[in-house]
Copies of this chain bind each other. A is one copy, B any other.
């Protein structure tokens, strides 16, 4: 390339990166040549020389849950503005896979955003101790150099519990998500501790099929309302309920978490806790950027979910 334009590689680098200063006529010649040859700098070589890939790794448990893609939009948006690209990997909710991916991405990129990670705290710490800039979303872990951006599910779940209690419910079934999920623990805890509501915890999972499968057990508890770990699980619940001819909210109330895009279009529209997901992604990027700049991550960012009351919750039947 340099030869084709009759200049040195350094000059090419200068005009392409807008550093130093170059004689306009030379610059023009270089640009003309790059255009003619369709030349594009090799990002790998550039990364090696600069010691930075201008890419960050993002690992998510499950892309099929709209929760994560929505957050990715936010991360991608903010990172793109700063000239960074994101590399996303999916762990399929498997912890070992998650650790492996984080490790691998760390070698390849400048930093990591771990979304709702399920890995042990020690593994998380080890990443940080290796000097890798990492931010963790939806999980709070005490570690000085770890960035944290998480929802305040305790307050959020209390909002929901209080909505249900106000409606007159006294006993609710909570269809729990993955045990290793911090969000799940928080939601369960807040619900259980709420005064005036008896909550039965039924193990379910994070997918619609899990909700579908767990519904009968929830029914057996005699609860008048069902709170699902997330909207996907609630969707499965709604499906099974419809199949059984049990009406929502007349016979039983149902609520979820996350407010995925479909939540408002279901029949009945789902009452749920909305998290500003795009914003959450943007914030995660900003915290990471601070770490990339060798600055401390700053205090944990906590986002408050908003209760979205739709038609799936109502006073109990009797």
Contacts and interface: CB of A to CB of B under 8 A. Distances in A.
Interface of A: 38, 40-45, 47-48, 53, 55, 63-64, 66, 69-70, 72-73, 76, 85-90, 92, 103-104, 107-108, 130, 207-209, 212, 232, 235-236, 238-240, 242, 261-262, 264-269
Copies assembled: 2
Given A63-B72, A238-B265, 17 more contacts: A40-B107, A42-B107, A44-B44, A44-B47, A48-B48, A64-B70, A64-B73, A76-B90, A86-B89, A87-B87, A208-B265, A235-B262, A235-B266, A236-B265, A239-B267, A242-B268, A266-B267
Q: Do most interface residues of chain A lie in helix, strand or loop, or is the interface mixed?
A: helix
A63 B73 contact: yes
A130 B38 contact: yes
B44 A48 contact: yes
A100 to B, nearest CB: 10
Nearest to A240: B265
30 contacts: A40-B107, A41-B107, A42-B107, A43-B104, A43-B107, A43-B108, A44-B47, A44-B48, A48-B48, A63-B63, A64-B66, A64-B70, A66-B66, A69-B90, A72-B90, A73-B92, A76-B89, A76-B90, A85-B89, A86-B89, A87-B87, A88-B88, A207-B261, A208-B262, A209-B261, A232-B262, A238-B265, A238-B267, A239-B265, A266-B266
